[in-house]
Structure 1
Amino acid sequence: MQTTHLVILAVYILAMIGIALYFMRSGRLRGGDDFLFAGRSLPRPVMIATMLVTWVGSGTIIGGANFAYTYGPTAGLVFFAGTPLGILVLLLAARRIRRASRHTIPELLEVRFGIGVRTVAAVVTAVAYLGLTASQFVGGGYVVSLVTPLTATQGTVLVAVVVTLLTVSGGLFSVAYTDFFSAILIVLGLFVSLPLVFAAVGGPTAYWEGLPEQATTFTGGLTALQLLGYFLPLFLLLLADQNMYQRLAAARDEREARFSTLGMLVGSFFVFVPVVLLATAAAVLMPGINGDMAILSLASEGYMPAVLGGLILAGAVAFVITTGSSYMLSAASNIAYDLYARFTGDRADERRKLVVQRLSVLGIAVLGFALGLFFPTVLELQMYSYTVYGAAITPVVLSVLFWRRATTAGAVAALVAGAATTIGWQVAGTPGGLNAVVVALPAALVALVVASLATGAPDPDRVAAVGGADTAGTNP
């Protein structure tokens, strides 16, 4: 523990709390809509930053770093390639997503498929986002335990409290503006640290020669199917991530939504490329450590100046806080809009929705902390949560946007098949060392197509209601 690291971390956390308190007292929150969309008033730099750092949480700085540390730089780049590829798809669909925007993904699905699909999707989304929130808490606990005298569990409690305060206080207002300042801190810390760490390794040649033999191969010693099992969850989650759809809905107009998505695409390379390089450099400098700690150990073990190490550690906490608060906010919206408001009807005014969202955040915090205790690493928790959402929700969401022949029966079949296969595969112990997505995604797609084609064509009015009338019009 270094005093410099502790001071920098404390200043960062206090600054984030200050922003949260400002928005709590600013009077900008007039109801649940403002809590979720920040009045659709976010400027473009803030939009880009909040989209970027919402996506790159502990799953990047800890889980993704673990993967790159273990399997090498090329496999690490394949692992993260789902991010820019997913963003490209979002970029192509951004205008359509903004036009068809709803409060939540399940609400969008109801317009096309009915209330039953919305309810099932809301439960699946809340379960997946609960796991992603838990991964942020656990990752933050790792960082805090490096910088302070607290244990990892005590650090997890501290992070959970800070993330919950940020989310409850100002909704997307406080989340987005803390994201903006965190993005600056994260990118600055990663890029300044790269030349210093490579100097410690001895340069590019020494770096490559120092890697374990399997880490210099394309797949890092994994089979192609195993590597695909790590690539797909990130790609699928991003394609239908409720956070991203809600951010696009929070843009001022369709043009801002597209430019913000383009900015996220460019910004993603400024994050995951340094993460891969730093994590694999750690494999050369510190072989045999816990891969979750790869980049964090570079900062805490003296491989960079104390101030820069403090910035990296604070940046890691920034990853956790920004992503954790976003997933908490998004999961709370499922409870408030897909369950409470949907079944109370006109009685659910905006002020009541705001109260329900804030109470839901508190409940998610408690459950997320409990869930985090049952997974041994952030990477395992991350893969499970990504797959639950990506295999079950993503095929159904994409069918809304791009396949007008999808039916309610197909949507229900895909949701059930994707979620059940994921959970069953996990319970079975991931046979063959394959992540669940390798079997869950095909199961969901087959269920979607077969059940849709076996039932009558959907109501054209429902297709048109979500902007689907002008897409894939000639599909069977």
Structure 2
Amino acid sequence: MQTTHLVILALYLLAMVGIALYYARSAKVGGGEDFLFAGRSLSSPVMIATLLVTWVGSGTIIGGANFAYTYGPVAGLVFFAGTPLGILVLLLAAGRIRRAARHTVPELLEARFGTGVRTVAAAVTTIAYLGLVASQFVGGGYVVALITPLTPTQGTLLVAAVVTLLTVTGGLFSVAYTDFVSAILILFSLFIAVPLVFAAVGGPGAYWDGLPEQAATATGGLSGLQLLGYFLPLFLLLLADQNLYQRLAAAKDERSARFSTLGMLVSSFFVFIPVVLLASAAAVLMPGINGDESVLRLASEGYLPAVLGGLLLAGAVAFVITTGSSFMLSAASNIAFDLFARFGGDRIGDRGTLIVQRTSVVAIALVAIGLGLYFPTVLDLQMYSYTIYGAAMTPAVFAVLFWRRATTAGAVAALVVGAAATVGWELAGAPGDLNGVIVALPAAVAALVGVSLLTKAPSAERESSGESAGA
């Protein structure tokens, strides 16, 4: 533990709490709409930052780093390749998403498939996002334990408290502006850290020669199917990620939404490439450590100057806090708009919806803490959560956009089968060391297509409503 690291982390956390309290005291958050969409007033720089930092949380700096540490830089780049490819697809739909401006993805599905699909989709989304919130809490616990005398469990509780405070106070206002500050900190610390760590290794040649034998191969010793099992969850989650859809809906206009998505695409390379290089360099410098801590230990073990190491560790906490608050806010919107308001909550008005959202945030935090204790690593937890959402939700969302023949029964089948296959595969112990997406995605698509073809085609009116939602 270094005093410099501790001081920098404390200053960062105080700054984040200060921003949250500012928006809690301001008159900006007038109701549930402002809480979720920040008054649809976010500028392009803030939009780019919040899109980027919402996406790259502990799944990047801890889970993704673990993968690159274990399987090497080439496999690590394949793991992360789902992000830029997914953003390119999202870029084509950014204007449509802003134009639709729905509260949640389940609400988007309802326009085409009806209330029942919305309810099932809301349940699936909430379950998946609970896992993603939990992964941020656990990842934050790792960082705090490296910097302070606290244990990982105590660090997890501290991070959970800060994330919950940020989210429950100002909603997207506080989340987006803390994202902006965090993005600057993260990009700066990663950019400076790479050449310093490579100097510690002895240069690019010594780096490559020092990699474990399997880490120097194109697949890191994984089979093609195993590698695909790591690539697909990230790609599928991004294609239909409710967090990103809500951020784009919060843009000032369609042009800003498209420009912000392009900015996210470019800036993502300045995060993923450094993380892969740093984590794989840690495999040379510190073989045999917990891969979850690979990038973090470069800072805490003295391979970086104290101030820069402190900034990198604070940046890791920034990843965790901003992504955790985003997923928490998004899951609370499912409870408030898709479940509570749908079944009698409309009578309480916008202010009442705000109370439900804030109460839901606290409940999500408590469940996520318990879930985080079940999974052994952040990588395991993120793969499970990504797959539940990506395999179940993405086929249904793409059916709204691209397949008119899809029916309500087919959409329900895809949601249920995709989620059930993921959970069942996990409970079976992931046979063959394959991630659940390899089974869950084909099962969900087959259920969507098969049940849709066996049931009555949707009416022209229903097709029209679906098109307007995705237009």
Q: TM-score range by the shorter chain?
A: over 0.9
Does the aligned pair in 2 maintain the 1:94–1:248 contact within 8 Å? yes
- Structure 2 match to 1:191: 191
- Structure 1 match to 2:152: 152
- Structure 2 match to 1:91: 91
Does the aligned pair in 2 maintain the 1:82–1:232 contact within 8 Å? yes
Q: Which residue type is aligned with residue 290 of structure 1?
A: N
- Structure 2 match to 1:437: 437
Q: 1:345: Cα distance to partner?
A: 5.1
- Structure 2 match to 1:313: 313
- Structure 1 match to 2:236: 236
Does the aligned pair in 2 maintain the 1:42–1:250 contact within 8 Å? yes
Q: 1:239: Cα distance to partner?
A: 0.3
SS in 2 for 1:374: coil
- Structure 1 match to 2:49: 49
Is 1:400 equivalent to 2:411 in the alignment? no
Does the aligned pair in 1 maintain the 2:167–2:329 contact within 8 Å? yes
* Deviation >2 Å, runs of 4+: 459-471
Tell me, in whole angstroms, the C-alpha distance in 2 between the residues paired with 1:259 and 1:463.
Answer: 30
Using the TM superposition, name which of 453-462 and 133-142 deviates more: 453-462
Tell me, in whole angstroms, the C-alpha distance in 2 between the residues paired with 1:62 and 1:210.
Answer: 22
5+ residue gaps, structure 1, are 472-476
TM-score w.r.t. the length of structure 2 is 0.99
Tell me, in whole angstroms, the C-alpha distance in 1 between the residues paired with 2:69 and 2:162.
Answer: 29
- Structure 1 match to 2:260: 260
Q: Which residue type is aligned with residue 124 of structure 1?
A: V
Does the aligned pair in 2 maintain the 1:106–1:117 contact within 8 Å? yes
Q: Which runs of structure 2 are paired with 1:179-218 in the superposition (5 Å)?
A: 179-218=179-218
Q: 1:402: Cα distance to partner?
A: 1.5
Does the aligned pair in 2 maintain the 1:100–1:467 contact within 8 Å? no
Is 1:286 equivalent to 2:263 in the alignment? no
**Cα deviation code 1:389-420 (max 9, x no counterpart):** 00001110111111121110110110111001
- Structure 1 match to 2:172: 172
TM-score w.r.t. the length of structure 1 is 0.98
Q: Which residue type is aligned with residue 279 of structure 2?
A: A
- Structure 1 match to 2:362: 362
Q: Which runs of structure 2 are paired with 1:416-435 in the superposition (5 Å)?
A: 416-435=416-435
Q: 1:463: Cα distance to partner?
A: 2.6
SS in 2 for 1:349: helix
Cα distance 1:152–1:346, how it changes in 2: closer, same or farther (>3 A)?
closer
- Structure 2 match to 1:7: 7
**Cα deviation code 1:71-91 (max 9, x no counterpart):** 000000000000000000000
- Structure 1 match to 2:136: 136
Q: 1:464: Cα distance to partner?
A: 2.5
Tell me, in whole angstroms, the C-alpha distance in 1 between the residues paired with 2:183 and 2:469.
Answer: 38
Does the aligned pair in 1 maintain the 2:167–2:361 contact within 8 Å? yes
Q: Which residue type is aligned with residue 241 of structure 1?
A: D
Does the aligned pair in 2 maintain the 1:109–1:397 contact within 8 Å? yes
Is 1:371 equivalent to 2:409 in the alignment? no
**Cα deviation code 1:414-450 (max 9, x no counterpart):** 0111001000000000000000000000000011011
Does the aligned pair in 2 maintain the 1:404–1:469 contact within 8 Å? no
Q: Which runs of structure 2 are paired with 1:463-474 in the superposition (5 Å)?
A: 463-467=463-467
Tell me, in whole angstroms, the C-alpha distance in 1 between the residues paired with 2:160 and 2:346.
Answer: 34
SS in 2 for 1:29: coil
Tell me, in whole angstroms, the C-alpha distance in 1 between the residues paired with 2:101 and 2:20.
Answer: 26
**Cα deviation code 1:212-251 (max 9, x no counterpart):** 1111111000000000000000000000000010011111
Does the aligned pair in 2 maintain the 1:99–1:467 contact within 8 Å? no
**Cα deviation code 1:27-75 (max 9, x no counterpart):** 1111100000000000000000000000000000000000000000000
Tell me, in whole angstroms, the C-alpha distance in 1 between the residues paired with 2:194 and 2:349.
Answer: 51
- Structure 1 match to 2:346: 346
Q: Which residue type is aligned with residue 411 of structure 2?
A: A
- Structure 1 match to 2:250: 250
Does the aligned pair in 2 maintain the 1:129–1:327 contact within 8 Å? yes
Q: Which residue type is aligned with residue 65 of structure 2?
A: A
Cα distance 1:90–1:215, how it changes in 2: closer, same or farther (>3 A)?
same
Q: Which residue type is aligned with residue 8 of structure 1?
A: I
Q: Which residue type is aligned with residue 373 of structure 1?
A: L
Does the aligned pair in 2 maintain the 1:401–1:468 contact within 8 Å? no
Tell me, in whole angstroms, the C-alpha distance in 2 between the residues paired with 1:206 and 1:12.
Answer: 35
Q: Which residue type is aligned with residue 79 of structure 1?
A: F
- Structure 2 match to 1:474: none
Is 1:410 equivalent to 2:424 in the alignment? no
Tell me, in whole angstroms, the C-alpha distance in 2 between the residues paired with 1:405 and 1:251.
Answer: 32
Q: 1:265: Cα distance to partner?
A: 0.3
Q: 1:96: Cα distance to partner?
A: 1.6
**Cα deviation code 1:243-264 (max 9, x no counterpart):** 0100111111111111110000
Is 1:36 equivalent to 2:36 in the alignment? yes
Tell me, in whole angstroms, the C-alpha distance in 1 between the residues paired with 2:445 and 2:453.
Answer: 12
**Cα deviation code 1:449-475 (max 9, x no counterpart):** 11111122212233322436998xxxx
5+ residue gaps, structure 2, are none
User: Could you say what the CA RMSD is over the residues aligned between the two structures, in angstroms?
Assistant: 1.0
Tell me, in whole angstroms, the C-alpha distance in 1 between the residues paired with 2:212 and 2:116.
Answer: 51
SS in 1 for 2:81: helix
Q: Which residue type is aligned with residue 272 of structure 2?
A: F
Q: Which residue type is aligned with residue 347 of structure 1?
A: R
Tell me, in whole angstroms, the C-alpha distance in 2 between the residues paired with 1:377 and 1:221.
Answer: 20
Does the aligned pair in 1 maintain the 2:48–2:260 contact within 8 Å? yes
Q: Which residue type is aligned with residue 6 of structure 1?
A: L
- Structure 1 match to 2:457: 457
